[in-house]
Chain A
Amino acid sequence: EVQLEEFGGVVVQPGGSLRLSCAVSGFSFDEYAMHWVRQIPGKGLEWVSFISRESETIYYADSVKGRFTISRDNIRKSLYLQMTDLRPEDTALYYCAREMAVPGLPLDYWGQGSQVTVSS
């Protein structure tokens, strides 16, 4: 069974840093590109970042570029999001998601999300 589980969400002060982790199981992690997507409670989905299978290609949303860093460890079957210079508008539920290698590049499996709250 494919499973993704996020860890690391906490309350942090503005300007602070945080690292989210996503542990996966039930599939060959190194065969899939991965994403982070966030959602402010009661609001829509916002794509955050993408990393290819061997980390050779990385993309970020403009809203987080220069502040967030995505990475992965294929041996540990884990995805990470290092978040720095956090702002109140970064408060959201952060999901990790797997990208299918099919036309459209959809996200077929998602974790349950990890809540990040940026507040003083």
Chain B
Amino acid sequence: IQMTQSPSSLSASVGDSVTITCRASQTISRYLNWYQQKSGTAPKLLIYAASNLQSGVPSRFSGSASWTNFTLTISGLQPDDFATYYCQQSYKTYSFGQGTKLEIK
């Protein structure tokens, strides 16, 4: 299953709201997870099963799903949010999207 993530990079300011999209090449139900990765560190789980917030993750992060399209929304960007974000499907084996680098404008 191919996961197409967009955009590949994004510039935004503190306080902005941003949306990252991940499209699956076939149905994956809600087997879609989102991760945040900062340079030099392991990925961190943000959202699981498309819209469930992982424990300890701020509520400004949210996820939604519509058929094969999935979105991660960050409402009110904080300085700590500038990082790279990945989607991952676990419906049929596993695969990651290409990543979205979120940079400060």
- Using CB atoms and an 8 Å cutoff, list the residues of chain A in contact with chain B: 35, 37, 44-47, 50, 59, 61, 95, 100, 102-108, 110-113
Contacts and interface: CB of A to CB of B under 8 A. Distances in A.
A105 B31 contact: yes
B30 A103 contact: yes
B interface residue count range (under 10 / 10 to 19 / 20 to 34 / 35 or more): 20 to 34
A106 B96 contact: no
A107 B49 contact: no
Interface stretch (B9-17, B18-26, B75-83, B86-94): B86-94
Q: Which 10 A-B pairs have the closest CB atoms?
A: A104-B49, A110-B42, A103-B49, A106-B48, A104-B48, A106-B33, A105-B90, A47-B94, A45-B96, A44-B99
B54 A112 contact: no
